Amino acid sequence: MHATFGKVEQVSSVPVKQRLWNVVFPPEDMGVNAHFAQEAAALYGAGYASDGDRLSASQLRQCFVDRTSIRIPAGSRFSSEGYFNGFPAAYWSAWTQVHSVTLTMHVSGEVRVRIWHSNSRARVTRVYSDEHNSGSLAVPVDISSLGAGGWLWFEVEAVQHAVVMSDAAWLSDSRPLQPASSVSLAITTMNKPEWCMRQFRLIARYADLSIIDRIVVVDQGTQHVEDCPGFAELEGSLSGKLHIIHQANIGGSGGFSRGMYEVLQQHTSGYALLLDDDTVIEPESISRAVAFARQCSEPTIVGGNMLFLTEPTRLCSLAETYNAKGVFWQAADGTPEFPDLAEKPFIKQQWLHRRADADYNAWWLCMIPSRVIETIGLAYPFFIKNDDVEYGVRAQEAGFRTVTVPGICLWHQSWFDKNDILDWQAYFHIRNKIIMGLLHSPYPCGGNLFRQMLKASLSATVKMRYSAVQLHIMAVEDILQGPEHVGKILSTRIADIRAMLSHEPDAQTKPIDQLPKLVRERNTRQTRALRTHALLNLFHQLTPPRLNNRRIVDGYIEPTKIYGPINDRVHVGRLQVTSIPPERYTSLPVLTDRRSDHWKAMSAMDSALTVDVEHQRGTLLLRHPLIAAAKLSRVIAAYFRLACQWNTYRRRYRAAFAEMTSPDWWQRKFHM
């Protein structure tokens, strides 16, 4: 069954309908720099010259006239195919009452307009083609058959002379089922006032302020946005909607809970849209999220995608799901992780055309209906990590769906070059995953949870990150003290973690010029053995380290890659070294570029360097078998104790759960 179209009418004015999806173009001041603005243009569509060649992102950007208009040279064509200006019909067909849409636009000359749709297999069908002269046009298209997958997009070709296409949008006759039509934004920030200013500026200039009740900023830091130059003027441009609240640092869960709490207290907004501070939102995403939510038959959490600020066309994931047996989150089945949307033509990325269903949406951009908040409460006091996952799972258990809608998005700082499972955040990763298992896992002992936790502790040990193992111990011991203790330490545990790490050698950094410059060489066979004989290499962990491991390191470590010199003249049994400054480590061969293989490459190492070239600092990691054995013994004992009493702790945490997510409980934390 194919999408169909009705009779096309040349109209002087388009009848009033429900506006679902405006086609917009990126403004000049979008993003953080000129590179971002140029690269991001590829997400908004495609341009084709008269000879059929596809325009580059920079050439396409030169065609943009303003936020809603594009100039198309004679003989050329513009296509809305792509992540942001394509219409994700599958999601509207599957999860809303909308089964037919109407494309409207205005053109300034003679054009040929075509409309296409794809299906879940990325097979393309043309559903409309006709020529039009200057004026407005409206083309109805049926999308009822596209629930499993498929997008709509259009092409406008300038027939004889250059034309301007403007005000294109997808509309619907369907009256909204959800009465709430306004939203309050809730932004949590911590010492990032310049990021907040950028976000306010984009919203003031390009968002539809008529649907925004308030912009609630929960400031938990010491550097305040009100102190930024130009704040007063920017505050005025937001028409009195900006409200800044200062409170103690109780983490992302505390900041977002405060935002949700304020929305409930005001009784004016139907939705709370949660936003990270260090992001660049596409302002049109706000209107799209509200339009989608209003057309859903039941209150629905509407989420947006994250793209990387440093690589504007790279997507984090299309949708994310929760694995209850392993108590972890992952990309939805059949979707890649970190795909580059500009790497292939839109229609060649088949995974993008299948509807991807989410179990939760990260709180970088997540719109929660007030009715959902009233029903299931605020965030669990995790401080950071897992609060958004837990909330989505809780909502799902209460009968509320989460839909991550492509084309609703923002750009966020990438964590591609970070490894937060080994730094101070290791405590929250371990503690909060285990609590997630206690709260929601239907399996004995959380299914595979303890296997995952043991793997994490063993991996950190092999990687000579003994401070991370100490944080694992602290995390489990806190869980063993019960849910009341977890709530009690909400605002204080971060200081305890920092104090503990100040005494751990592998958590300290030094200036680059104070780090070793001698690196051990290996031949190709030895390098291959690092990966293929990893289990045998683990016995190396039981042996004393090289006496010169402080002066000669075995490699350079970064979050995704491990580097080391390869020299096939090296003989087995002989130690040969090369001298290379730490700031030049990336010129060395890559021993592995898979994060999951780091433990294999490091299993035979006695020392290694991590280097932050940008800040000219690094850390010397040293193998200590006795420390490793002592910490591993403690953490395994803690895991064993918790596993033996799993049912007892599961009852305790579930019994305290409703109270610890209630507005009354959180109110005491807001004003402590």
Kindly list the distances between the CA atom of residue 56 and the CA atoms of 45, 120, 163, 585, 591, in Å, as whole numbers in the listed order: 11, 28, 20, 34, 35
Neighbours of 531 (CB within 10 A): 15
Q: DSSP class of residue 174?
A: P
Element (H, E) at 290: helix 284-295
Q: Are 217 and 241 in contact (CB under 8 A)?
A: no
Secondary structure of residue 534 in the 3-state scheme: helix
How many whole angstroms from its chain centre is CA 45? 22
What single-letter amino acid sits at 377? G
Q: Are 11 and 138 in contact (CB under 8 A)?
A: yes
Angle 105-106-111 from CA coordinates, rounded to 5°:
95
Distance of alpha carbon 633 from alpha carbon 481, whole angstroms: 20
What single-letter amino acid sits at 540? H
Q: Are 105 and 136 in contact (CB under 8 A)?
A: yes
Residues 6+ apart with CB under 8 A from 213: 182, 183, 184, 241, 266, 268, 269
Distance of alpha carbon 363 from alpha carbon 51, whole angstroms: 44
Kindly list the distances between the CA atom of residue 263 and the CA atoms of 213, 294, 295, 373, 396, in Å, as whole numbers in the listed order: 10, 18, 21, 9, 21
- SS3 readout for 563-592: ECCECCCCCCCCCCEEECCHHHHHHCCEEE
Structure tokens at 291: 């339009």
Q: Are 144 and 88 in contact (CB under 8 A)?
A: no
Distance of alpha carbon 218 from alpha carbon 202, whole angstroms: 19
Q: Are 86 and 154 in contact (CB under 8 A)?
A: no
Catalytic site includes residue 388: yes
Distance of alpha carbon 156 from alpha carbon 411, whole angstroms: 28
Distance of alpha carbon 472 from alpha carbon 199, whole angstroms: 36
Nearest partner of 285 among 299, 275, 270, judged by Cα: 275
Q: What is the CA radius of gyration of the chain?
A: 27
Distance of alpha carbon 122 from alpha carbon 216, whole angstroms: 41
Look at the block and give the residue holding tokens 């140029």. 38
Strand partners, 79: 46, 155
Q: DSSP class of residue 148?
A: T
Strand partners, 314: 340
E strand intervals along 474-526: 510-511, 518-520
Distance of alpha carbon 105 from alpha carbon 582, whole angstroms: 57
* Maximum C-alpha span of the chain: 85
Secondary structure of residue 433 in the 3-state scheme: helix
Q: Are 560 and 518 in contact (CB under 8 A)?
A: no
Element (H, E) at 87: none
Secondary structure of residue 598 in the 3-state scheme: helix
Angle 151-152-156 from CA coordinates, rounded to 5°:
140
Structure tokens at 162: 């250059």
142, 219, 359, 388: the catalytic one is 388
DSSP letter string, 144-177: TT-TTB--EEEEEEESSS-EEEEEEEEEE-PPPS
Residues labelled catalytic: 388
